[in-house]
Amino acid sequence: MALIRFGVAMESSLLAQFDELVRERGSTRSEALRDLARADIIRSLATRRVDAFASATIVYNHHVRELSERITEMQHELGDQVRSTMHVHLDAERCLEVIVMRGRADRLQKAAETLFATRGILHGSIEIVAEPSGVGPKAAPHDHEHAGHDHGDSKGRKRRPTRRR
């Protein structure tokens, strides 16, 4: 990948703040600008029809009538777009749930917004990581195991465990 140099003009006060951020990260201006550009491009793709991963985080009052059932029902309606969930009891009234999803970015965003608007949800946020070609590294399908999970073959089918002798 070829790097191209270009000039950037900004107010001196903004540059001073940017340089402080660069120092805190132990980075360079160039790397920080590349990171900002990548993040903004990915964020702009969240409403488009591109493949993406997302993590939706909600905090809710589990005493709200039938809320837990509604949350579960919404996840079932999403089908195989929901890859995993984690549920944590925060205190006597509140729970935190993280829902990991994969699908089209615009659909994941809409599903999250519907979930966040549900009565009893106290806080909701979503982080969407789009998978467009040409924007940063893209996870290629790979055929190997990580501790605790197996990716399966190149078509997404689970492999049979191999016996070691």
How far is residue 63's CA from residue 86's CA, in Å, rounded to a whole number? 19
Residue 30 inside a domain? The answer is no
Q: How many CB atoms lie within 10 A of CB 61?
A: 13
Average pLDDT for residues 9-31, to the nearest whole number? 93
Q: What is the distance of C-alpha 42 from the center of its chain? A: 11
Residue 112 inside a domain? The answer is yes
Residue 109 inside a domain? The answer is yes
pLDDT one-digit tens code per residue, 76-134: 999 999 999 999 999 999 999 999 999 999 999 999 999 999 999 999 999 998 875 54
How far is residue 53's CA from residue 128's CA, in Å, rounded to a whole number? 6
Residue 116 inside a domain? The answer is yes
Q: What is the pLDDT of residue 135?
A: 47
Q: Could you list the residue range(s) of the whole structural domain that residue 100 is in?
A: 46-130
The CATH number linked to 73 is 3.30.70.1150
Give pTM, 2 decimals.
0.64
Contacting residues for 119 by C-beta, under 8 A, at least 6 apart: 64, 67
Q: What is the pLDDT of residue 145?
A: 56
The number of folded domains in the chain is: 1
Q: What is the pLDDT of residue 150?
A: 52
Residue 94 inside a domain? The answer is yes
